[in-house]
Structure 1
Amino acid sequence: MRLLICTVAVGFSLFAIIWDYLRPFPESRPVLIMCVLSYFVLMGVLTLYTTYIEKGIFLVALQKDEAGIDPDNKRELASMLKKYDDMYHLSMTFIDGKTGIKRTKEFSKCVSNYFDEKGTLCFDLYEPEIRLFQNKISAEDKKD
Structure 2
Amino acid sequence: MGESNETVKINKWDGAAAKNAIDDAVREVFTGDLKCKESFALIDGRLFLCALAVGVALYALLWDYLYPFPESRLVLIVCVSSYFVLMSILTLYTTFKEKGIFVVAKEKVGNATRIWEASSYVKKHDDKYNLVLVMKNANGKTREASINKSFANYIDTNGAVVPSAISNEITKLYNSLSSEKKEK
TM range (shorter): 0.7 to 0.9
What's the CA shift string for 1:91-117, capped at 9, x where partnerless?
1111111x3211100111123433567
* Alignment partner, residue 36 of structure 1: 80
TM-score, normalised to structure 2's length? 0.62
1:65-144 alignment to 2 at 5 Å?
65-66=109-110, 70-97=111-138, 99-115=139-155, 122=161, 124=163, 125-138=165-178, 140-141=179-180, 143-144=181-182
* Alignment partner, residue 57 of structure 1: 101
What SS class does the counterpart of residue 109 from structure 2 fall into?
coil
**How far apart, CA to CA, are the structure 1 residues paired with 2:148 and 2:161?**
17
| Count of residues in correspondence between the two structures | 137
TM-score, normalised to structure 1's length? 0.76
**How far apart, CA to CA, are the structure 1 residues paired with 2:128 and 2:48?**
33
Sort the Cα spacing of 1:4 and 1:93 in 2 relative to 1 into closer, same or farther, 3 A.
same
User: Which residues of structure 1 form unaligned runs of 5+?
Assistant: none
**How far apart, CA to CA, are the structure 2 residues paired with 1:54 and 1:71?**
24
Question: What is the root-mean-square deviation of aligned Cα atoms in Å?
Answer: 2.6
Is the contact between residue 49 and residue 90 of structure 2 (CA under 8 Å) also seen in structure 1? yes
What SS class does the counterpart of residue 89 from structure 1 fall into?
strand
1:19-34 alignment to 2 at 5 Å?
19-34=63-78
Could you say which structure has the greater relative contact order, defined with CA pairs below 8 angstroms and 6 or more residues apart?
A: 2
Sort the Cα spacing of 1:75 and 1:33 in 2 relative to 1 into closer, same or farther, 3 A.
same
1:11 aligned to 2:11? no
**How far apart, CA to CA, are the structure 2 residues paired with 1:27 and 1:117?**
63
Sort the Cα spacing of 1:17 and 1:56 in 2 relative to 1 into closer, same or farther, 3 A.
same
What's the CA shift string for 1:11-61, capped at 9, x where partnerless?
211211211221234433443343233223311221111112222111111
**How far apart, CA to CA, are the structure 2 residues paired with 1:45 and 1:121?**
38
